[in-house]
A and B are shown apart, each in its own frame.
Chain A
Amino acid sequence: MHRTLLCAMAFAVAWGTPLAARAQDPELSKLREEVRQLRQAYESRIQALEARLKETEAKAGKAEPSAAQAETAAAGTGTRPAGENAFNPAVSLILQGTLAGNSRDPGTYRISGFVPSGGEVAPPKRGFSLAESELNVSASVDPYFRGQLSAAFTPDNRVEVEEAYFQTLALGRGFTLKGGRFLSGIGYQNEIHQHAWDFQDASLVYKAFLGGRLNDDGLQLKWVAPTDLFVELGAELGRGRQFPGAEGNRNSVANAGSLFGHTGGDIGASMAWRAGLSYLRASPQDRGYGDLDSTGTGVNNTFSGKTRLWAVDGIFKWAPNGNSTQTNLKLQGEYFQRSEDGSLTYDTQAASLGTQSGSYSSRQSGWYLQGVYQFVPQWRVGYRYDRLGAGTTSIGQVSSGALSAADFPILGGYNAKRNTLMVDWSAGEFSRLRLQLARDYSRIGEPDNQILLQYIMSLGQHGAHRF
């Protein structure tokens, strides 16, 4: 019976039914769940008391162990809460910084062939540079909700809310609802905080397609299947406040939405894997970017239309008997494919050849593959290969002859690639020092040799061992 209901709900989610239509269901089941829990709590109390009484009676004759059980009976009801502190939120602080050298100016970094994503995608500044310091605060709100805040203090003295969300604990049946601002569940790397990445920077696909990472404001519903094989399905609705969306001023429920599914498991004791498929759709309105047109004038162009992104992700981990202390291996790869259709407005400020609009469509893709190997405790080496395919872009104003391709230089066909090597050392679980070398062909005709040293220090609450 439940399964039928469950599947019906899952289908509704998968088809993207409006949220309002589904609102009653969780409401009802939450109430039902509350009543059930109350009843269960009382029942278990009485049962436990009865059982303990019998137990103590039964063992009254025996000397040592029964004394121990009497103690247990006295202390028995208490359960210390797991992990996070009872009432005080768990707090952690991450300190990061880099010492970097680049053969090209990071200040002019752009990925040729792709619409600039506007995110923080440039390599770290040359020389010493503080990176984002991250403050994490989390706790259970009550038996029904948990809350978390991740705030980043940027080196230029701003505070950014990376995540601030609530998450349900009591929906049950595999459902979890998240609301607020959160790292989207699409792909693999997106949900991982930057300080836990295996390389200092994001892969090129994340930089080009998601502006580094996707953390929209909205809602996420996730469901875990009641199977031994891990199967997780999720749907998100968001305001589309950042790339590939663009903040619109509309009353619509969602300017962006995504669907994702992940599956995974173990292969024996030594291997574990996870694979996923995600779909993101956004309707940006006047999503702007700057470029230099054929006259050498800086112009501002905007795109309005639809953007669709497909992502395939896979991760595989190996450690002898599943004990990662001595040695372990991690392989990770993701493939992104995006199509955009709509209209492109050239020179919105009429700074050069005058404002004009036309159709725009593009089909682009990219992927990366990386491996990280811990060869002795504390030491890891890693290699990453990045590749982007600029694919096909057709601009109406260019095909009609009104403008030339030279007026949109950043959209010119170019397949960026990058090779990255890293070695890092971790004293324990709380500090890490990293050396990273990269040869980055993101900019057409300008290979960039990058070297950096990075530190990551974690204070406070023990970090989560995310898979």
Chain B
Amino acid sequence: MELLSLSPPGWGGNLLRGLVNSLQIAFGAFGLGLVIGLFGAYGKLYGGVVIRDLLGIYTTVIRAVPELVLILILYYVGTDLINKAAEAMGYGRVEISGVVAGIWVLGIVQGAYSTEVLRGAIQAVPKGQMEAARAYGMPALLVMRRVTIPAMMSFAVPGLANLWLIATKDTALLAIVGFSELTLETKQAAASTRAYFTFFLAAGALYLIVTLLSGVVFGRIEKWARRGQPSLRAGQSR
């Protein structure tokens, strides 16, 4: 058990640092994915032919290729492109922070899924809601901010909750590019001490705790998002 203690020679501190890194990336990627997803969803619904086709390619390719492969491609191609660009502009090679790279890579993946979740949610909002807003003189962006986005939340939250959980677990894939998130830290701790079982069990428990807490938080968010709708379970009627 002292293997897990927070201060050396225990490895608990490393595991927690890995967890914090994982959560940071998951959070950033999820947020970036939401932003991409919102633009993607609006682009798919209201964009011109070119935009719709490009977005179609984006969401299809990202969802078709295994995430591990995508991460390798995006990470190496991405860092390569940035360095080429930096050199072209006369800077030397730039050191790319693992967290930032991880957020970008996973964010682009998340964005494809978010696009589909949000597109479906926007389509589920009764048209009359947006129409009333337009009829009363709201400009398009205000309609989006005050009506469409809040009204679609109840349809989007379950799908987004799934995406968040996927984001937390996809951070483990970043181990392959040497980023010290929870899984890589665990592997190192296990290898150094040969206590594989202890450490992977501990890591599994940490992932499980994150999932359980996320469930509570998203449950609250969903309840809030559905505040205007009679509860199905209570059989509340008009």
Chains A and B form a bound pair? no
Binding site for A on B (CB under 8 A): none
